[in-house]
Structure 1
Amino acid sequence: MKFDPFVAQIIIATDFNHFTTCDVRTSYLTLKNDSLLKPVDARRRIYAELLKLVKKGWLTKVKPSGKGFTRFIKTTKFDENVLREICEPTISTTELIDKKKSLVDKLNHYKTELLLNLGESEAYKELYTEFPELGNDIQPHYNKARDNNTRILGKIKAIECLLNQN
């Protein structure tokens, strides 16, 4: 069912029943936060969405006998779970594949960077062994390379965790 996710989000609230189109519109305008959206257009769009649920039997439309606003009441057929799914964004398979490829690319980049930094750390160790008198000059560079290794290793673990989770 194609349905506006903002309207769905509003009407699935358990304490939201026996409402008017204007009640939904007020919440809709707040949620949508679109300054270009005219309240009249929003009300028309919302009314059309509510009529979809009336046709499905999920809402009952109650017209006042005199003056007043038409109200909508949730029926026993009202399926909150279906509307909740509409509220939650769905990610297509191609988007998932693209995201996974992007993560793998980042992972490979960080692994390459880690290897470079490990080589740099080893070079500083070798230089210190060969030229111990330059220890004060070498030590800060070695510490920086070692810190970079730790930082990059953390990034690698985070990405691997995400990839293993999916």
Structure 2
Amino acid sequence: MKRSTKISAIMHKLLIEKGMDGFSVIELRDASLSISDLRKEPDEARKRLYRQILRFVRNGWLASEGEGRDKRYFQTDLFRSLNVKPKVGRENVTSPVKPSPDYSVLRHERNQYKAELEIVLGEIDEYQSLNRRFPELEQKLNPMLQQARYRSAHLFGKVNVLTNVINTISSDVAEC
């Protein structure tokens, strides 16, 4: 006995039950939208069906003629000789439990920003020290000092945000 080949339920309805042959992608899309229980976005339906058509062409089940929008697809003898059955819908399959996301990247980013913040705070200290030691350089050092202060405020904000998020995630996990 020949083993059956499973294809998507929608392709089974269109190609086997409705017997579509010599169709364009748009004609297949329109037919799928008319028989589908769910109203889907036409562009998404076209993309989904086109991926199926490409797979069928690669398997030798469909042949194409023409180019661009005039391209038409025909069932091959190989496809007609297959024992084709529709795939069972995904509703019947239980979905696996999704693993919890890994937020360790947030801790890593926070530690990176903390390290950068320490460097910038060291720069600020050094600019201030140089200003005290060499008052004549104050005009030249002040713009660099202000820029370092701005960077430290920016980094400090990032550290605070990530710390708050990490604490919130930790408290959510603790409550569970």
Q: TM-score if structure 1 supplies the norm length? A: 0.51
Residue 49 of structure 1, aligned match among 52, 67, 89 = 89
- Equivalence for 1:160: 163
- Equivalence for 1:10: none
Q: 1:126 corresponds to which letter in structure 2?
A: S
Deviation, 1:23, is 3.7
Following the alignment from structure 1 to structure 2, what is the Cα–Cα distance between the partners of residues 117 and 138? 15
Following the alignment from structure 1 to structure 2, what is the Cα–Cα distance between the partners of residues 154 and 51? 46
CA shift in 2, pair 1:114/1:130, >3 Å: same
Q: TM-score if structure 2 supplies the norm length? A: 0.48
Deviation, 1:28, is 8.2
Is residue 99 of structure 2 the alignment partner of residue 92 of structure 1?
Answer: yes
> What's the CA shift string for 1:30-85, capped at 9, x where partnerless?
279544244xx9xx55xx328849xxxxxxxxxxxxxxxxxxxxxxxxxxxx9xxx
- Equivalence for 1:136: 139
SS of 1:92's partner is coil
Following the alignment from structure 2 to structure 1, what is the Cα–Cα distance between the partners of residues 119 and 129? 15
Following the alignment from structure 2 to structure 1, what is the Cα–Cα distance between the partners of residues 91 and 159? 51
Unaligned 5+ residue runs, structure 2? 1-33, 57-85, 170-176
Following the alignment from structure 1 to structure 2, what is the Cα–Cα distance between the partners of residues 140 and 27? 55
Q: RMSD over aligned Cα, in angstroms?
A: 3.8
- Equivalence for 2:153: 150
- Equivalence for 2:116: 113
Unaligned 5+ residue runs, structure 1? 1-19, 54-81
SS of 2:103's partner is helix
Residue correspondences, number: 107
Deviation, 1:121, is 0.3
